[in-house]
């Protein structure tokens, strides 16, 4: 399989992760004009699985390092498969809440609050599991990200003032917070399912690592957990949505055009590419830094929401200064998270 051993290359892959994770929700914004996010999400989940399978049969099956996809799947233990699968289920629960928050509050709010919280929590959890990098620099960066979350939440509160609108504020922020807290947990399960230090040649042959997965196999199992749990989570919010009317399952086939389905699948493949690069790069960058830098997607998504979709165009005077301060805190915080690995 293809392995990444260079830290600079790993950082580049994490930056691509950041761009993918921060941009995939644009496909939801496009599709939501014509059908509900619950219907979009089925195609998104399919796209996530398709991309992991493509990588497993290509990058995961070529090269001399590690184990090929089928060989790895054959030796995998049920415990490690379960870890990766649970990671997919936890992520899916959190991501559905995030998608609902985007539908209610927009990208410029849901991402900074939800993913920002996931970043802070995820970096801490992954650092405890695999302590790599300068902790002082790393956690100063995390603290700045936390400040950016607070600034964004305050800016969003200034956006609307009516009673019905205040209910939307509360619901959007609450969904974002719960999504963030839950999402901060999934990455550690996926990391735990994989062979440690998979950039080292002897890691795969070490009996201690028997049953552990390669990154490519873990990604496929993760995606299966995501897709299969949709039958529980997505079905539930189709019949009892967070807002609006219930959605009939038959609408997926009755109202879905090839273009709408392709938009959803594209969204899933974009996110899945980011997830795959984050996992593959974590061997050289470390799980905490790989996850933390990838969650810089918050800044990218907020940029889309603020400057492209104009989600704050009706905000009171002075809000732009708060948003610029948010971006500044995120940028400096992310720079410190990157620097923590080499300091």
Q: pLDDT band for position 333 (50/70/90)?
A: confident
Inter-residue contact 175 to 242 (CB < 8 Å): yes
Nearest to 84 by CA among 235, 260, 259, 213: 213
Task: Provide the residue range defining the domain that includes 287.
Answer: 7-339
Residue 161 domain-assigned? Answer: yes
The first and second tokens of residue 152, run together, are 């964004």
Q: Is the pLDDT of residue 260 over 90?
A: yes
* Mean per-residue pLDDT, 196-216: 75
Q: Which residues contact 48 (CB under 8 A, 6 or more apart)?
A: 223, 226, 227, 268, 269, 271, 272, 275
In a domain, 272, yes or no: yes
Q: Residue 299: what pLDDT?
A: 76
- Provide the residue count of the chain: 343
CA 277 to chain centroid: 12
Within a domain: 2: no
pLDDT category at 168 given cuts 50, 70, 90 is low
| Residue in the structure block whose two tokens are 């009892």 | 240
Q: Please report, in angstroms and rounded to a whole number, the separation of the first and last CA atoms in the chain.
A: 30
pLDDT value of residue 208: 63
pLDDT band at 163 (very low <50, low <70, confident <90, very high): very low
Residue 291 class from Cβ within 10 Å (0-12 exposed, 13-18 middle, 19+ buried)? buried
Q: What is the pLDDT of residues 83-129, one digit of tens each?
A: 999 999 999 999 999 888 888 877 777 777 887 787 778 778 778 87
d(CA 291, CA 164): 37
Among 20-24, 30-34, 200-204, 325-329, the range scoring the smallest mean pLDDT is 200-204
Domain count, the chain: 1
The per-residue pLDDT of the chain, averaged, comes to 85
Give pLDDT, residue 279. 87
User: Average pLDDT of 7-13?
Assistant: 86
Least confident stretch, 58-67, 195-204, 276-285, 320-329 = 195-204
28-52 confidence digits (pLDDT tens): 888 987 889 899 999 999 999 999 9
Between residues 288 and 329, which one has the greater pLDDT?
329
**Reported pTM:** 0.83
Residue 194 φ then ψ, to 5°: -100, 155
Please report whether residue 245 resides in a domain: yes
Nearest by Cα to 169 from 106, 108, 105, 97: 105
> Is 14 a residue whose pLDDT tops 70?
yes
What burial class does residue 231 get, using C-beta atoms within 10 Å of its C-beta: 0-12 exposed, 13-18 middle, 19+ buried? exposed
Query: pLDDT tens digit string along 286-315?
Result: 766 776 677 677 778 888 888 888 878 877
Residue 1 covered by a domain? no
Give the distance from CA 10 to its chain's centroid: 17
Helix residue ranges per DSSP H, the chain? 7-23, 25-31, 37-57, 69-75, 78-105, 107-110, 116-129, 135-157, 163-193, 215-239, 251-254, 258-285, 287-294, 297-303, 319-339
The pLDDT, as a whole number, for residue 236 is 95
Using CB atoms within 10 A of its CB, is residue 340 exposed (0-12), middle (13-18) or buried (19+)? buried
């Amino acid at each position: 399989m293809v392995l990444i051993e260079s830290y600079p290359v790993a950082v580049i892959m994490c930056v691509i992760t950041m761009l993918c994770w921060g941009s995939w929700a644009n496909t939801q914004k496009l599709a939501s004009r014509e059908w509900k996010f619950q219907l979009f999400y089925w195609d998104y989940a399919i796209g996530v699985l398709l991309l992991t399978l493509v990588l497993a049969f290509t990058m995961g099956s070529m090269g001399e390092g590690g184990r090929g996809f089928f060989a790895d799947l054959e030796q995998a233990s049920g415990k490690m498969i379960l870890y990766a699968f649970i990671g997919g289920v936890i992520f899916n629960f959190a991501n559905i809440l995030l998608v609902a928050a985007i539908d209610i509050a927009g990208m410029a709010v849901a991402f900074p609050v939800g993913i920002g919280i996931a970043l802070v929590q995820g970096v801490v959890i992954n650092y405890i599991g695999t302590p790599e990098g300068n902790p002082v620099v790393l956690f100063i960066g995390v603290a700045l990200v936390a400040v950016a979350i607070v600034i964004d939440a305050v800016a969003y509160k200034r956006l609307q003032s009516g009673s019905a609108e205040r209910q939307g504020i509360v619901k959007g922020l609450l969904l974002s917070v719960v999504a963030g807290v839950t999402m901060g947990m999934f990455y550690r399960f996926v990391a735990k399912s994989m062979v440690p230090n998979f950039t080292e040649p002897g890691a795969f042959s070490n009996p201690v690592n028997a049953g552990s997965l390669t990154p490519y196999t873990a990604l496929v199992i993760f995606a299966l957990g995501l897709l299969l749990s949709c039958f529980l989570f997505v079905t539930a919010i189709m019949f009892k949505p967070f807002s609006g009317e219930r959605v009939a399952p038959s609408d997926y086939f009755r109202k879905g055009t090839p273009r709408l389905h392709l938009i959803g699948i594209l969204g899933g493949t974009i996110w899945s590419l980011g997830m795959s690069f984050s996992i593959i790069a974590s061997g050289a960058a470390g799980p905490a830094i790989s996850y933390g830098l990838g969650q810089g997607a918050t800044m990218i998504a907020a940029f889309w929401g603020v400057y492209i979709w104009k989600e704050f165009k009706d905000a009171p005077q002075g809000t732009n200064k708060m948003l610029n301060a948010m971006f500044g805190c995120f940028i400096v915080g992310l720079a410190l998270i990157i620097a923590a690995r080499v300091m």
